[in-house]
Chain A
Amino acid sequence: MSVMDDPAAPAHGLSARQMALYRFRRNPLAVIGALIVISVILAAIFAPWIAPSPESAGSFVDFRNRHSPPNWQNLMGTDNVGRDVFSRVIFGYRVSLGLVVWVLGVAVPFGIVLGLCAGYFGGWTETIIMRFTDIMLALPPLAMALAITAVLSPNLINAMIAITLLWWTWHTRLIYRIVKGQMNEDYVEAARVAGASHMHILFRELLPNCFSAVAVKISLDAGFVILFGASLSFLGLGVQPPTPDLGTMVATGSEYLPEMWWQAVMPGLAILYAILGFNLLGDGLRDMLDVEL
C-alpha cells in the first residue's frame, strides 16, 4: 500500500521521468558514481594523451628511476623497472574497459535472447534453457575461467572468451524471471489477440520491459567484469606482460610489499575506484528506475 491513497504521478504535477530524475539527483552517491565512470572511460579513451609517460605502457625500462615512491613526477610511484605506475594504470583501464565492452557486448544479448525465449515459449524450450543455465550457475565462475584460459593458453583474448562463456547465464536468469512475471500481464495476450508475431511480442512488447533491469545489471556487471579480469591476471592467467593490466600489476607489485607498497596498492585502488564507480552508478539507476534484480 502506498503512503497516499493514490500515488499517481499527475497528483504531483510531475511526470515519471521527472520523478526518476529527481530521485537520481537527490542521490549524491549516484552522481559521484556517474562522475567516476565518466572519468574512467575518458582516461581509457584518451590514455596516450593523458598519461604523463605513455612509453611506460610498454616494455620501457628506466633502472635509475625504479622503486621510486609517489612524488610529483610519478603520482603513483614507479615499478620494479622504473615505469610510471600512474601511466600504466591509465593504460590498464583501456584493457579493463575493452574487456567489459567485449564480454558484455557478446554475453548480454545472448543471455537476453535465451531468457526471453525461455520465459515466453515455456515448455521444452524453457526446460532445456533453464536447466542448462542452472547447471552453468553451479560452476564456480572464477575456477572455470581459470581452467578454460589455462587450457587455451593464457592471454587477453582467451580470458575474454572464457569470461563471456560464463557471463550470459546471469542475464538469462534475470530476463527469464522478468518475462515470467510479465507473462501474467494481459498485454502479452492482448498482443497475441491483435495478431502480433512471436518476434514482435518478444522484442517489441517484452524486451522494453526488461530494459531498466538490464541497464542496472550492465552497470553493476561492468565493475564485476573488471574485477574478474583482474583476478585472472592476478593469478597469471589473463593479460600477459608487458601489456599494462591492473591485476598483473598488483600481482607483481605484491612481491615488493610492504616497503614498496605503492606498486601493489595503487593499481589495487585503481581497480577499486573503477568498480566503485560502476556500482554506485548501478545502485543509483536501481533506485531511480525502481527495479529489483
Chain B
Amino acid sequence: MFTYLFKRAFTLLFVLLGLAVLIFVIARIVPGDPARIALGPLATAEQVTKLQNEMGLNDPYPVQLWTYLSGLVQGDLGKSLLTSRPVMDDIMGALPATFELVLFTVVLQILISIPLGVIAAIYRNTWIDSVLRVISLLGVVTPGFVLAIILQLIAAHYLGFFPVTGRIDPGIGFSAEITGLLTIDGLIAGRFDVVIDALRHLFLPAIALAAAGIGQVMRITRTAMIEVSSRDFVEASRAYGIPERVVTFRYMLRVASVAPLTILGLEFASLIGNAFIVEFVFSWPGIASYGVRTILQKDLNAVIGVVLVSGVFFVVANLAIDLLLGILDPRHRIRAGRGS
C-alpha cells in the first residue's frame, strides 16, 4: 500500500512540474508582449521597457523559467496587474469559496448520479429507465450558462428562497477563519444560521455546475452495472442464494463503481473549467471569477496562477479518487504497486 501511495504521489509531482513548465511555455509562445498587452496600446515605449524589465521578460528563457519555478516553490506567483497585490494572496483569498463550491458539487454528483445509475440499471428497458435517461440527457446537454440563467430566473423570481449571488448574506456578519469553508467553520462555531445561509447560497451554483457530470456519471454507472451484471460471479452469487439486494450493492456496485469514479476524476478539469462560467453568473467570489476578471484584463501573472491552481486541484482530486479506487478494488492497488 505504501509503495502504491509513493508511486502515485511521485507521478503526480511529475505531472505538476510538467504542468508548470507547460503553462510557462504557453505563456511565452503566445504572440504578443505581455508588458505591452498589460499596459495597453496607449503606453509609451519607455513604460513598456520598464515593465518588461520588472517582469524579467528581457532575461534569457531558461533564466525566466528558473525564476518562475523557484518563485513557485516559495509560493510566489508574481504580482497581479489588476489588483496590484501578490497573485498568491488573491488566490488564497478566493480559494476557499471555490473549494467549497466544488466539494459540494462533487458530493452532490456522487450522491445523485450513482444511485440513479444503479436504479436505471436495475430497471433497465422499463419506463423508469427511460425517465432517468431523459434526466441524465438533459443534464449532459444543457449548457452550464443556460442552466445557470434558468435557475436564477426560476429561483429568484418565482421561489425566492435561494439567493442568486454571493456566498453568504452580507448582513449575517461572519468570517470563516479556520478552514475558510463557511459551512464547516459555521458548524465549528456553532452558528447554524451561517451554515444554513451558506447552503442556501451554495445550492443553485452547485446544481448548475453538477448537472453535466450527474448526467454523464449516471449513464456510465448504468452501463457499468449492466456490464458487471453479466459476469459469471454475479450469476454464481445468485445461484448460491445471496439476496438480490446484497448482490447488487455489495457484489456489483463495488466492481462497477470503478468506471464512474475514474470518469469523475478525469472530468474534474472540465468541472473546474465550468466553474468559470458558473461563478461568473452567480458572482461567486472564487478563483474562477477572479480568473475571468483577470483574463479579461489580460493580467498574465494572475492567469498563470489561476490555471496552475486549477491544475493542482485536478491532480489532488485524482489522487483522492485513486486512493478511493485502491480501497474499493484490491487489484488497482496491487497492479499500481507492481508497476505498469
Contact = CB atoms under 8 A, between A and B. Distances in A.
B180 interface: no
Contacts of B273: 140-144
Interface stretch (B103-111, B165-173, B296-304): B296-304
B145 A140 contact: no
Nearest to A223: B141
Q: Is the interface of A mostly helix, strand, loop or mixed?
A: helix
A9 interface: no
A139 B310 contact: yes
Contacts of A258: 153, 157
A103 to B, nearest CB: 16
Contacts of B83: none
B199 to A, nearest CB: 25
Given A151-B298, A254-B149, A265-B150, A139 B235 contact: no
Interface residues of A, number: 49
A1 B232 contact: yes
A268 B140 contact: no
Interface stretch (A113-121, A201-209, A270-278): A270-278
Contacts of A148: 26, 30
Contacts of B272: 140, 143
A151 B270 contact: no
Nearest to B300: A151
B37 interface: yes
Contacts of B315: 138
Interface string B286-307: 0010011001101010010011
Nearest to A264: B149
A261 B306 contact: no
A128 B310 CA distance: 23
B145 A151 contact: no
B311 A138 contact: yes
Contacts of B271: 140
Nearest to B297: A150
B134 to A, nearest CB: 9
A279 B307 contact: no
Interface in A127-155: 131-132, 134-144, 146-148, 150-152
Interface string A242-261: 00000100110010011001
Contacts of B144: 231
11 contacts: A135-B15, A140-B314, A143-B273, A143-B295, A146-B291, A147-B295, A151-B30, A230-B143, A264-B149, A268-B143, A276-B141
